[in-house]
Amino acid sequence: MTKAEGTATPPPPIVPWMEFQNQEMWEKALHLGRKVLWKGKTCIQRPGDDVTGIFLIREGVIKVSATSAEGVQRTLWFMGPGSILGEAALFAGQRNTHHIDAVEDCVAYEFSRSNVVDRLLVDHPDLGEALLTNLATKSYIMSTQVEESTFLSAHRRICRFLYGLCLSRNSPQISLSHSVIAELLGLHRVTVSNAIGDLKRRGLLEERGHDLVVADIGAIASLINSDI
């Protein structure tokens, strides 16, 4: 608790969107990796694929999702620059279990298992810590989603998501469609459309082109803890 007590600023909501700005620490290790490019809207990995290393995402955004046998998709989280893909499977000795798609053109660096274990972790404790931070973030995203989906109303979850995304991305602009948000939160698309329409009517949200812009972040924040 670094801040004063009186005005207890609640911790920012955990949202299923990973992104880390301090990427400088990775510069010293990039030579150990292999640069890879992923074209937008293409598949990166499917369930069952062998995991031979980890990927540091430097540019672009990818989507991690689970798919039922019938083909229904449930997005688990998005990953942006500074986040690491594949470390959970690598350390658990598991094959990949999710669908991973590039939603836009991406630049990443792949580090082999041996380079991670013998070089990164040994020579660069800060990178080891970054790996743990990445892993812990995924863990919190999943537990928070379970928690919110069982205890919170759809309306509140949408407000939490919009608010948390603004804070973590440090931008009021949200360029996600209603159906993408619905898949991410496990809600019906129409539920998301109605809730967002409601927030727009109240002036808390605005539409800029095809994007949403949070106009009154304070009001959205207050809605997180009070329904309707």
What are the residues binding DNA (CB under 7 A)? Answer: 177-180, 189-190, 193-194, 196-197, 200, 209-210
Burial 73-89 (b: 16+ CB within 10 A, else e): eebbbbbbbbbbbbbbb
CB of 209 to DNA, least distance (A): 6
CB of 207 to DNA, least distance (A): 7
- Nearest residue (CB) to DNA, 100 versus 196: 196
Q: How far is CA 192 from the centre of its chain?
A: 18
- Nearest residue (CB) to DNA, 66 versus 190: 190
- Nearest residue (CB) to DNA, 21 versus 179: 179
Instruction: Give long-range contacts, CB 8 A cutoff, 24+ apart: 74-77.
Output: 74/183, 74/186, 75/16, 75/180, 75/183, 75/184, 76/16, 76/141, 76/142, 77/16, 77/17, 77/18, 77/138, 77/141, 77/184
Rounded Cα distance, 1 and 17, in Å: 24
CA torsion 156→160→161→167, rounded to 10°?
160
- Please say whether the beta carbons of 184 and 191 come within 8 A: no
Q: Which of 143, 6, 8, 117 shows the shortest CA–CA distance to 52?
A: 117
CB of 69 to DNA, least distance (A): 20
- Nearest residue (CB) to DNA, 67 versus 139: 67
Retrieve residue 32's tokens.
Answer: 């150990």
Q: Which of 161, 193, 160 shows the shortest CA–CA distance to 77?
A: 161
